[in-house]
């Protein structure tokens, strides 16, 4: 596994440490709130406190969390298991600058055999982003199995 990776000269992608998980939680909360405001995410079902506790509880021995640093500030992250991209979030202030693409390229490099992810059907910007990057739709659900009870789509990157 690479120890660091950059896709842009000004963005550094590195594995997260436990000490960085509180900042990861803040990016998650900011990005999700911005997406909710645009109608691209259903309303959250957990309080900010619950989200912060959940992120701080991530076991970095069973999942990989990589962070994107821009001018030493955490502006995005990916959270992955061996077969799933469980989350890719970029701070609203850094969106549109190629950070999400850099993070997704990193995941493709770390998981050359492919991976899957779930995206809410209402999240058109994310669906378009993943389609531009070669992910394909595998299945759709009515959302009864996710906490938000919102229709979602299983996407996959088949690998290189």
| pLDDT given at position 41 | 84
Q: How many CA atoms lie within 13 A of 153 on its CB side?
A: 18
Q: How many CA atoms lie within 13 A of 8 on its CB side?
A: 14
The pTM (predicted TM-score) of the whole model is 0.90
CA 141 to CA 77: how far, in whole Å? 26
Contacts of 75 (CB under 8 A, 6+ apart): 11, 27, 68, 69, 90, 91, 93, 94, 99
CA 145 to CA 149: how far, in whole Å? 7
Please write the tens of the pLDDT for every residue from 48-96. Answer: 999 999 999 999 999 999 999 999 999 999 999 999 999 999 999 999 8
Please write the tens of the pLDDT for every residue from 118-151. Answer: 999 999 999 999 999 999 999 998 889 888 888 8
| pLDDT given at position 20 | 97
| pLDDT given at position 7 | 44
Q: How many CA atoms lie within 13 A of 109 on its CB side?
A: 16
| pLDDT given at position 5 | 44
In order of 68, 83, 134, 138, the CA distances from 156 in angstroms are 22, 10, 9, 7
> Residue 32 is inside which H or E element, if any?
helix 21-37
């Amino acid at each position: 596994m690479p120890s660091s990776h950059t896709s842009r000269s000004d963005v550094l992608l590195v594995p997260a440490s436990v000490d960085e998980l509180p900042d990861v939680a803040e990016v998650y909360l900011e990005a999700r709130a911005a997406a909710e405001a645009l109608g691209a995410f259903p309303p959250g079902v957990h309080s900010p406190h619950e989200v912060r506790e959940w992120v701080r509880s991530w076991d970095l021995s069973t999942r990989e969390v990589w962070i994107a640093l821009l001018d030493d500030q955490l502006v995005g992250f990916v959270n992955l298991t061996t077969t799933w991209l469980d989350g890719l979030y970029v701070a609203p202030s850094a969106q549109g600058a190629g950070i999400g693409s850099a993070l997704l390229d990193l995941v493709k490099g770390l998981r050359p055999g492919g991976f899957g992810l779930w995206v809410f059907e209402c999240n058109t910007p994310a669906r378009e982003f993943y389609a531009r990057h070669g992910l394909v739709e595998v299945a759709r659900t009515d959302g009864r199995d996710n906490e938000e009870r919102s229709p979602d789509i299983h996407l996959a990157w088949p690998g290189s």
